Copies of this chain bind each other. A is one copy, B any other.
Amino acid sequence: MSLIVVGSVAYDGVETPHGKIDRMLGGACTYISLAAAYFTEVKIVGVVGEDFAQEDIDFLASRKIDLTGLDRVAGRTFFWAGRYSPDMNDRETLQTDLNVFADFDPKLPESYRAEPYLFLGNIQPDLQRSVRNQMKNVQLTGGDTMNYWINDFRPALLETLKQWDFLLINDSEARLLSGQHNLRRAASKIMEMGPHTLVIKRGEYGAILFRRGEHFMVPGYLLEDVFDPTGAGDCFAGGFIGHLAGRGVSPSDGDIDFAELRRAVIYGSVLGSFCCEKFGVDRFRTLTREEIEARYQEFKNHTSF
C-alpha cells in the first residue's frame, strides 16, 4: 500500500538571513516524499538531468523511496534560485531554469498503477489529470496547485479538481481560486469544485482543515530560528498524506474519519516545522520518527486547554 508522489525534483539556490547555498537538492516531489517516507512507502514520478548527483539518488533511496519512476534524461535538472526577505515572509525568485522539467510528461511505471494513494505536486493541471487517469485503483487523490495555474489554466484546473478528494493550498491561493477573501466562504466555494477536504496553509500562522461544514485549526509551531522555509509547505503535504496512507485510511462512501484528518494536519505541521530548521532537505538527514512523535506531543501541550 504505497503512496505515489508526482512533481518536481530540482536543485535550488537559496539565500536567507542565515546564509546562502548555491546549489542543493530540492523540488516539491523531493520534499513531499522525504516527509511522507516517515509514515509510508513512497514511489516517486519525476524527471532529472544528467547532472543529478548519485549522492542525491542514494539519499532518497536510503529512505526506501522507490525511484523507478524517476526518469533521467539528456540535459540539466530543473534549477530555481531565490532570496528571502529579512523576516522570511516573502521571497524573490532570482532564477528559474526549467531545463528537463519543461518537457515533463509523467508516465507511471506499471508497478505504480495499482497503488491506492496519490499526491499530485504542483504541476500543470492537465498533467496532474493525466497521472490520475493512469491509476487503476486509487482510493485517495489530492494535491497542490499555485497562482500561475489558477490564473492562466483555470478551466484545466477545475476539470482536474473534480477528481480530487483533497486539496492543500495556501491562503492567498484559496482566495484567488474562490474569489472570496473570507476563508470560510473561500473554503465552501472550493469544496463545491470537487475536493471534500481542504487544507489551507497559512505559513507561520498554521493551517485550517475544512470538511463538510466542520473545521479544525492548528497554529504554526513557534520556532526559535527559521533557517530556510523552502519546502515547508511541501513537507506539510508529505506529513499529511503520509500519515493518512500509513494509517491505511480509505474513504468509505466518500467519508474519512475527521479525527484522523486532524491528526494528519498535525503531522503536516510537525514535518513543515522541522523542514525550516536547516537549509533545504538537511533536517531530514538526521530527523527520527521519535523526534516527530515528540513534537506531535508538543503541539498537544501548546494547544490544549
Contact = CB atoms under 8 A, between A and B. Distances in A.
Interface of A: 86-87, 181-185, 202, 205-206, 208, 215-219, 222-226, 259, 262-263, 265-266, 300, 302-305
Given A87-B181, A202-B205, A266 B305 contact: yes
B87 A222 contact: no
A224 B304 CA distance: 24
Nearest to A206: B219
A63 to B, nearest CB: 26
Contact of A222 (B183, B205, B305): B183
B263 A216 contact: no
B217 A302 contact: yes
Contact of A305 (B223, B225, B259, B305): B259
Given A182-B224, A225-B182, A215 B259 contact: no
Nearest to A219: B217
A43 to B, nearest CB: 29
A224 B185 contact: yes
Nearest to A216: B302
Nearest to A88: B181
Contacts of A262: 305
B87 A215 contact: no
B219 A305 contact: no
A215 B181 contact: no
Contacts of A217: 219, 222, 302-303
Contacts of A202: 205
A212 B70 CA distance: 49
Nearest to A222: B184
A194 to B, nearest CB: 22
